[in-house]
A and B are shown apart, each in its own frame.
Chain A
Amino acid sequence: MKLTLQEVRHVAALARLSLSPEEEERYRHQLSAILEAMELLKALDTKDVPPTSHAIAEDSVLREDVVVPSIEPAKALANAPDKVGTSFAVPKIIE
């Protein structure tokens, strides 16, 4: 399992990570080695095995639909890198 540089860039774009050329090369090698070790799983026949998402599954957990106070806007915004009024501010999305 050898990843191509193109695949590494595609995955980095999906993950919203900008990588330096050195990082692209390093992760290409490391991820290839890790995925190669994972090939072991292919030897196992799991055709009729159901997947497990949670080992100890609670049934759908619902609560009464009652209004409770949540964090006040000033507190929720206190850690924001940038804000406008009671909103989080971000760089321009539409030119």
Chain B
Amino acid sequence: MTPPVLNLSMLELAGALARREISSVEATHACLGRIEAVDPRVKAFLRIDAEGALAAAEASDNRRQSGALSALDGVPVAVKDLFLTEGVETTAGSKILAGFIPPYDATAVKLLKGAGLPILGKLNQDEFAMGSSTESSAFFPTHNPWDLSRTPGGSSGGSSAAVAAREIFGALGTDTGGSIRQPAALTNTVGLKPTYGRLSRYGVIAFASSLDQVGPITRSVLDAAALLQILAVHDPKDSTSSTAPVPNYMAEIEGGVSGMRLGVPREYFVPGMDPEVEHAVRQAASDLERMGAKLVDVSLPHTRYALAAYYLIAPAEASANLARYDGVRYGLRAQVAGGLREMYCRTRAAGFGPEVKRRIMLGTYALSAGYYDAYYLKAQKVRTLIREDFLRAFQKVDAIVSATSPVTAFKLGEKVDDPLAMYLMDVLTLPCNLAGLPGLSVPCGFGTGDLPIGLQILGRPFDESRILRIGRAFEREADFAGRAPPL
């Protein structure tokens, strides 16, 4: 039986804390108890920092009389293992970083701590965020709380599973090609990928630097907005961190969708899409229409090229970013009889898993002499066309709605031996990253076997307020996210 407090949203818990109905220490203990009860089956956590979280919770309770640090002071959260956490082991789900203790906090982690949120631990993920199922984690796969034989999505699958399973009130993930939105869709949670540059990536282990973005996974759109408000701070330590003004994301979030024009891209109803997903998403779109939005048929003609462009650009950038794991400054070092070069090659062979090696190989090939123009440069040009598709559509509409994932949660093991089938899981989410847009996934129904379905809402650059407002209007009407998995 889940203690009722664990079903509260982050803002509801914050209210209960403010009214002294519960303390942050009690809420943190409730999470720890829940983790102990269900995580042996869900396996969302790689590491638990009970001591650090309880100390932060106690500090939060102590200052409650003098005034809270933020709207979410005292609300326990957890972060994907890609975020550096000072003094707490950080591995990015990889053996090559086993035992690595970061000397500093990622900016996002620092902001959470500064806002008074206890951080309960590190969440499982695909190795270096490369994957769509958490099965490429070097440690173990995470299981979907809605059906333990299935994936919670990926790469932020530990984050989505922990939030869905009521082990934690909210979590941070990262999204390079859908790694926040897809796991949110597969677990009946809310996932927000902000505009490229909106949140700092300082101290977040890099995968593909022109695509990576940090964001929240929560059980309500309001919670996602509240976390975004805490994290949207210009950071001089990240040269891509935007100086665009940060609005008050709560100000108009209850404003509804009346009069908004929502684009429904015909290319996003792809062959091979689960008919239940299509039905739920079309139903959600007509619900939004009933609430006062106007649905507009739009075309994003280069959509079919996005997957190929992405799977050249992301591995190319990854192959450069992952060059730093060479056994010299941190992490694993293979013991070899030979010289430096042999040490590099053996360390990387022993430390990286099959998916990471595959992407390093693919990216290195795409960047290598003789192939650069045909692959990498070509992909960057296609990226321009994809971005222009969106900008053209946004002249006609205020936001775009589609499915987040073409299918519901698939079985663990089903796609691990077929990389291309796995890559197809990102087909509806990755164009947003190529274009740098903000994207939100909100629960919009259930398919066969009570498997969750997500609605994706894409917005103009830096227009997070609007997609949150649309998501909130839908959530208020439907409230699928209120449903808990049978654990």
- Distance in Å: Cβ of B377 to nearest Cβ of chain A: 6
Interface stretch among B152-160, B173-181, B307-315? Answer: B307-315
Flag whether A67 is at the interface (Cβ < 8 A). Answer: no
The secondary structure that dominates the A interface is loop
Q: Which of A68-93 contact B (CB under 8 A)?
A: 71, 75-76, 78-82, 88, 90-93
Residue of B307, B375, B377, B382 with most partner-chain A CB within 10 A: B382
Of B56-64, B97-105, B270-278, B477-485, the one with at least 4 CB within 8 A of chain A = B97-105
**Residues A78 and B311 in contact, CB atoms below 8 Å apart:** no
- Chain A interface size, under 10 / 10 to 19 / 20 to 34 / 35 or more: 35 or more
Q: Does B224 contact A (CB under 8 A)?
A: no
Task: Give how many B residues have a beta carbon under 8 Å from the other chain's beta carbons.
Answer: 74
Q: Which of B319, B346, B365 has the most CB of A within 10 A?
A: B365
Please tell me if the beta carbons of B343 and A90 are within 8 angstroms of each other in the complex.
Answer: yes
B74-103 CB mask vs A (1 if < 8 Å, else 0) is 000000000000000000000000011101
Nearest B residue (CB) for A12: B361
A11: which B residues are within 8 A, CB to CB? 361, 364-365, 368
Residues A31 and B365 in contact in the complex (CB < 8 Å), given A58-B240, A92-B340: yes
* B378→A54 contact, CB < 8 A: no
Bound form: Cα–Cα A54–B243 in Å = 16
Q: Is A6 an interface residue (CB 8 A)?
A: no
Residues B101 and A17 in contact, CB atoms below 8 Å apart: no
Query: In the complex, which residues of chain A have a beta carbon less than 8 angstroms from the beta carbon of B439?
Result: none
Cβ A40 vs Cβ B100 within 8 A: no
Contacts beyond the supplied A11-B365, A52-B380: 12 A-B pairs with Cβ under 8 Å: A16-B323, A16-B326, A16-B345, A18-B348, A49-B385, A54-B436, A56-B240, A71-B104, A79-B331, A80-B328, A81-B331, A91-B338
Write the residues of chain A forming the contact surface with B, with a CB cutoff of 8 angstroms: 3, 7-8, 10-12, 14-19, 23, 27, 30-31, 33-35, 37-38, 40-42, 44, 46, 49-56, 58, 61, 63, 71, 75-76, 78-82, 88, 90-93, 95
